[in-house]
Amino acid sequence: MRVDRKITAIEPQKRHKERLNIHLDGEYAFSLDRLTAVWLQEGQTLFPEEITGLQKKDVLETAYRRALHFLSFRARSAQELERFLQDKGYAPDQITQVNARLQTEGYLNDQRFAEDWINNRVTFRPRSSRQMHYELLRKGIYRETADEALKNANLDDDALALEAGRKLARRYARLAQKDFMLKLGAALARRGFNFETAKAASKQLWQELEQDKL
């Protein structure tokens, strides 16, 4: 038998002002996000299916707010956000709906994420194209998206190795040439550059350091 219930009070929570406590028939029933409860008012009657619908909508709104907070710290890939919501206990269909909403609103865009990631790496921590490709895959970016972002960036590994090496060379400047070449070459290898590229960059940077001493 369907039992309709009347809203007898709507009160803001003391600790979470964005949520409202809903009282039905004189007793606390559940809480809702303000946006979910915006059309509710005291004295209103709710059917059971309306209550269920409100609670489902509230779960999605709460997940959406959590996702926005997660994204506020730095950009994320769609898969990173999916893992975050999974860890919070949300069901696959709820995660799909939240991700779709964020993509529609422009908060989630894997192509833009990949391009920004590459630009950030090139500017602050240069590494090889191969290494950046690997990093993007680990972030959950699809291979095709990573390929396209790197193609659009039109990177040159020789130039990247020199830029990365310049940020490291000073720490090895007091070493003899052989040790300098070994240390810097190993550091560049850790950033994904192949042996020939790392060796050529190390040699050029040694020559630049020697020139500066003149």
Sketch the domain layout of the chain as residue ranges: 5-104, 113-168+176-187
User: Cα separation of 160 and 167, whole Å?
Assistant: 11
The whole-number pLDDT of residue 156 equals 96
User: Per-residue b/e over 16-40, b at no fewer than 16 CB within 10 Å?
Assistant: eeebbbbbbeeeebebbbeebbeee
The whole-number pLDDT of residue 214 equals 61
Are 31 and 19 in contact by the 8 Å Cβ rule? The answer is yes
Q: In this structure, what are the phi and psi dihedrals at residue 40, rounded to the nearest 5 degrees? A: -85, 150
The whole-number pLDDT of residue 80 equals 95
- pLDDT per residue rounded down to tens, the chain (214 residues): 567 899 999 999 988 888 999 999 999 999 999 989 888 999 999 999 999 999 999 999 999 999 999 999 999 999 999 999 999 999 999 999 999 999 999 999 999 999 999 999 999 999 999 999 999 999 999 999 999 999 999 999 999 999 999 988 888 988 999 999 999 999 999 999 999 999 999 999 999 888 877 6
Helix orientation angle between 129-138 and 143-153, rounded to the nearest 10 degrees:
150
Helix ranges (DSSP H) in the chain: 48-73, 78-87, 92-104, 110-124, 129-138, 143-153, 157-169, 177-190, 195-213
The whole-number pLDDT of residue 183 equals 95
Closest CA to 112 of 70, 146, 81: 146
CB-based burial label for 88 (10 Å; 0-12, 13-18, 19+) = middle
The whole-number pLDDT of residue 2 equals 60
> Would the pTM of this model clear 0.85, i.e. be above it?
no
SS3 176: coil
Closest CA to 122 of 74, 170, 154: 154
Kind and range of the H or E element at 173? none
- Kindly indicate whether the domain formed by 5-104 is annotated with CATH number 3.30.230.10: no
DSSP β-bridge partners for residue 10: 22
